[in-house]
């Protein structure tokens, strides 16, 4: 497959979808493409322009983005946007490569919707809990593979909901964080780094130097989830990568992630993605692939 020229291949793993690569200029709103990318340590994107509006969300790792000359730090919970006429440079930390979601869209209403979200082109915001935004990106990924006649309408509605949710969940940049929020961010970072090694919230709490009850309170307050669910979501994200990129079998993936029972693994996977591992792979692989994007070169 030939990727569109604006899609970077500097990634370790990626799950992408392509819906409308040749949108009509007068449509109110069109969803072009999107996905989830785990970046190479040397990832660097430098553009002077972009054909569509784009929203990106950082969920792991660290880096920086320069939007029209303004430098901003990137870390989990930061979302930023760019579009036509916005110069941008995106760089990951080699020590902590980023995992991010993105969605590209266009249309007569696109810029107004993006601005109303509080994330106009060239801006960044901090959102919490980030899991709620991740859920919407994952729903877009899932429904983009649907063959139902109204699937495209569902995806457009999810895009609008995503932009509204960004506005709802935006919080002031945590320059002077309350101690509890700083502790949550530290614990969350440890869970992100070690999710594939730990099997329980009890292990995670012990490694974070706190009781399981306190860790749970932090995650409920700032993440609207539990440590165990957070660990599970990260594991299932890795599982999706192994199923799609490494072509591993379900039992092999279960063993790789520390599940002694493949049925338990499949149930956990379905709770996160709404489909069994086998159904998930079939849906993603039947998503229409992108044709060469020569008309924008």
Domain boundaries, the chain: 11-174, 179-283
Q: pLDDT digits over 200-232, tens only? A: 889 889 988 999 999 999 988 887 789 988 888
pLDDT of residue 221: 83
Question: Do the Cβ atoms of 43 and 96 come closer than 8 Å?
Answer: no
Could you please state the CATH topology (level 3) that the domain comprising 179-283 is classified under: Arc Repressor Mutant, subunit A (1.10.10)
End-to-end CA distance of the chain: 17
Which of 117, 103, 3 has the alpha carbon at shortest distance from 53?
103
Q: Which residues contact 257 (CB under 8 A, 6 or more apart)?
A: 196, 235, 238, 239, 265
- CATH class, domain 11-174, is mainly beta
Q: Give the mean model confidence (pLDDT) for residues 15-41.
A: 92
pLDDT of residue 3: 73
pLDDT of residue 120: 87
pTM of the model: 0.70
Among the ranges given (16-25, 253-262, 277-286), the one the predictor scored with the smallest mean pLDDT: 277-286
What whole-number distance in Å separates Cα of residue 253 and Cα of residue 231? 16
Q: pLDDT digits over 245-273, tens only? A: 777 889 999 998 888 888 999 999 988 88
- Looking at the predicted structure, is the pLDDT value of residue 287 above 70? no
Omega within 30 of 0 (cis) for the link into 49: no
């Amino acid at each position: 497959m030939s990727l569109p020229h604006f899609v970077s291949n500097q990634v370790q793993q990626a799950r992408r979808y392509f819906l409308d690569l040749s949108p009509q200029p007068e449509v109110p709103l069109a969803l072009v493409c999107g996905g989830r990318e785990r970046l190479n340590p040397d990832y660097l994107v430098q553009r002077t322009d972009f054909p569509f509006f784009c929203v990106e969300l950082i969920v792991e790792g660290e880096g920086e983005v320069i939007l029209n000359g303004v430098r901003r730090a990137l870390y989990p919970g930061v979302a930023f946007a760019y579009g036509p006429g916005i110069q941008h440079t995106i760089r990951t930390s080699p020590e902590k490569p980023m995992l991010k979601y993105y969605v590209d869209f266009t249309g007569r209403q696109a810029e107004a919707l993006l601005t109303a979200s509080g994330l106009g082109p060239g801006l960044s915001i901090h959102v919490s809990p980030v899991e709620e935004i991740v859920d919407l990106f994952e729903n877009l990924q899932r429904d983009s593979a649907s063959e139902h006649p109204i699937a495209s309408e569902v995806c457009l509605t999810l895009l609008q909901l995503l932009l509204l949710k960004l506005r709802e969940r935006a919080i002031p940049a945590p320059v002077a964080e309350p101690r509890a929020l700083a502790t949550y961010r530290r614990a969350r970072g440890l869970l992100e780094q070690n999710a594939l090694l730990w099997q329980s919230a009890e292990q995670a709490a012990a490694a974070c130097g706190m009781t399981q009850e306190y860790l749970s309170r932090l995650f409920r307050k700032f993440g609207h989830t539990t440590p165990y669910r957070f660990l599970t979501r990260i594991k299932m994200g890795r599982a999706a990568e192994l199923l799609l990129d490494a072509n591993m079998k379900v039992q092999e993936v279960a063993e790789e992630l520390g599940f002694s029972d493949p049925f338990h693994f499949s149930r956990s996977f379905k709770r996160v993605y709404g489909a069994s591992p086998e159904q998930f792979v079939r849906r993603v692989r039947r998503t229409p692939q992108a044709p060469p994007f020569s008309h924008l070169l």
